[in-house]
Amino acid sequence: MEEGLVQPKVDEVKIRRIIDLAQNGYLSPADVQGLLDAADIPRAGESVVTIQKDAISEANKLGYPVVMKVVGPVHKSDVGGVTLNIKSEKHLEAEFHRMKQIKGVKSVLVQQMLTGTELFIGAKYEPRFGHIILCGLGGIFVEVLGDVSSGLAPLTFNEAESMIRSLRSYNIIRGTRGKPGINEQKFAEIIVRLSSLLRYATEIKELDLNPLIGSLDEITVVDARIRIEK
């Protein structure tokens, strides 16, 4: 990754095709996946299914343990729409049946179960300034402590690194008390790649990658929400 003003390459044609064809509101999982892939942002292996047979098949392909999430309701956890660490076909069948009973659920997402440090990257569009990008640790650090740093897109690699290092929780990212940190360079690169994605999609008004799962080797998006307004 270049450290100066040069932005990483993204597939702008694919980005524009997805945005142009999509309806206003929150994008479908397929469109979210497409935008992340177009920006070369790593994401967990996943598949959206509507019948139990396909859920079992996809879980076998991904390998247990897996995560299941409802597709439909925006706030999945509020409706009991997320189950972690599913280790068997029997457990998967029970959770699939339960999730299909939740109001507004049309399908279920089956995803790799990853472990590591939870991270957060977000973006919001301000009419006078453009996209403001935020980053921090995921989970309680965002929701309760408000430990996030921000920068105005487009961002350079150096600016993304400065955002990461300005966090109060930076010691956790770096590694502390015998616990391994995360790959800071890859975290910064994802921030810059997101900045490049937003350059070609000003219709994105709200974006949350939360959580990403980080380790010393990889940073991977586990859950993402993107809202557009044309």
Taking 60 as the threshold, does the pLDDT of residue 4 lie above it? no
Q: What is the mean pLDDT of residues 98-127?
A: 93
3-state secondary structure of 71: strand
- Give the model confidence (pLDDT) of 25-46 as tens digits: 999 989 999 999 999 999 999 9
Q: What is the mean pLDDT of residues 172-201?
A: 92
Query: What pLDDT does 43 receive?
Result: 96
Q: What is the mean pLDDT of residues 177-190?
A: 91
| The amino acid at 71 | V
Domain 46-112, CATH number (from 3.30.565.10, 3.30.1490.20, 3.40.50.1820, 3.40.140.10): 3.30.1490.20
Report the share of the chain in percent with pLDDT over 90: 80
Query: What pLDDT does 89 receive?
Result: 97
Query: What pLDDT does 93 receive?
Result: 97
> What gap in Å lies between CA 89 and CA 110, rounded to an integer?
12
Q: Which fold has domain 117-212+222-228?
A: D-amino Acid Aminotransferase; Chain A, domain 1 (3.30.470)
> What gap in Å lies between CA 48 and CA 108, rounded to an integer?
6
Residue 39 gets which letter from DSSP? T
Q: Of 104 and 2, which is predicted with more confidence?
A: 104
Q: What is the mean pLDDT of residues 196-204?
A: 96
- Give the model confidence (pLDDT) of 113-172 as tens digits: 999 999 999 999 999 999 999 999 997 777 777 889 999 999 999 999 999 999 998 999
Q: What is the mean pLDDT of residues 95-100?
A: 95
Query: What pLDDT does 21 receive?
Result: 97
Query: What pLDDT does 77 receive?
Result: 74
73: exposed, middle or buried (Cβ count in 10 Å: 0-12, 13-18, 19+): middle
pLDDT band at residue 221 using 50, 70 and 90 as cut-offs: very high
DSSP track, 157-205: HHHHHHHHHTSTTHHHHHEETTEE---HHHHHHHHHHHHHHHHT-TTEE
Domain edges within the chain: 46-112, 117-212+222-228
Query: What pLDDT does 78 receive?
Result: 76
pLDDT band at residue 177 using 50, 70 and 90 as cut-offs: confident
Query: What pLDDT does 2 receive?
Result: 43
Residue 1 gets which letter from DSSP? -
- Give the model confidence (pLDDT) of 47-77 as tens digits: 999 999 999 999 999 999 999 999 876 677 7
pLDDT, the chain, mean: 92
